[in-house]
């Protein structure tokens, strides 16, 4: 994804990034498997682009960049996924870990949202 971010548009990168979350967390795909990885890339990239992306993943430059990003995240205290380091409009920074913490992150960032709500039994959505 380091190569994708550096090579393709912001929109393409963000769509692919979100697709990886869906593939890993909702579909249970093994993104370490080159065939499954390519199947996810096919959702947004041509076969020619996929070949370049997969080749870049084997290159020292991109492996080093991934290692650097990983080391930086670990230095901030990252220990799992999803883990986010965010900066709010006041310039304050804070880490957030876990999908059950998104509402705290949104509150910290002043992003309008609805908190979780418990509904009556039998309530129709």
pLDDT for 27 equals: 95
Q: What angle do CA 96, 24, 15 make, to 5 degrees?
A: 80
pLDDT for 93 equals: 95
Q: Are 54 and 81 contained in the same domain?
A: no
Q: Are 49 and 88 contained in the same domain?
A: no
CA gap 97, 77 in Å, rounded: 10
pLDDT mean over 48-68: 96
In the block, residue with structure tokens 């009556």: 120
CA gap 2, 17 in Å, rounded: 11
Instruction: Determine the structural domain holding residue 91 and report its residue range.
Output: 76-125
Percentage of the chain exceeding pLDDT 70: 99
Torsion angle of C-alpha atoms 101, 28, 53, 5, degrees rounded to 10: -10
- In this predicted model, what pLDDT tens digit does every residue of 14-40 receive, in sequence order? 999 999 989 998 999 999 999 999 999
Rg of the chain over CA atoms, in angstroms? Answer: 18
Q: Are 106 and 94 contained in the same domain?
A: yes
Q: Are 96 and 50 contained in the same domain?
A: no
Q: Are 89 and 110 contained in the same domain?
A: yes
Q: Are 49 and 83 contained in the same domain?
A: no
Q: Are 100 and 47 contained in the same domain?
A: no
**Does residue 76 have a pLDDT over 70?**
yes
pLDDT for 80 equals: 85
């Amino acid at each position: 994804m380091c190569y994708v971010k550096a090579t393709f548009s912001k929109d393409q990168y963000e769509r692919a990034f979100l697709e990886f979350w869906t593939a890993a967390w909702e579909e249970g795909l093994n993104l370490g498997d080159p065939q499954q990885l390519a199947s996810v890339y096919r959702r947004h990239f041509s076969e020619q682009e996929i070949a370049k992306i997969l080749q870049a993943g084997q290159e020292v430059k991109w492996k080093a960049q991934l290692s650097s990003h990983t080391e930086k995240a670990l230095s901030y205290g990252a220990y799992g996924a999803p883990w986010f380091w965010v900066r709010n409009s006041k310039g304050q920074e804070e880490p957030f870990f876990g999908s059950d913490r998104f509402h705290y992150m949104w509150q910290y960032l002043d992003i309008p949202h609805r908190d979780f709500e418990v509904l009556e039994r039998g309530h129709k959505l």
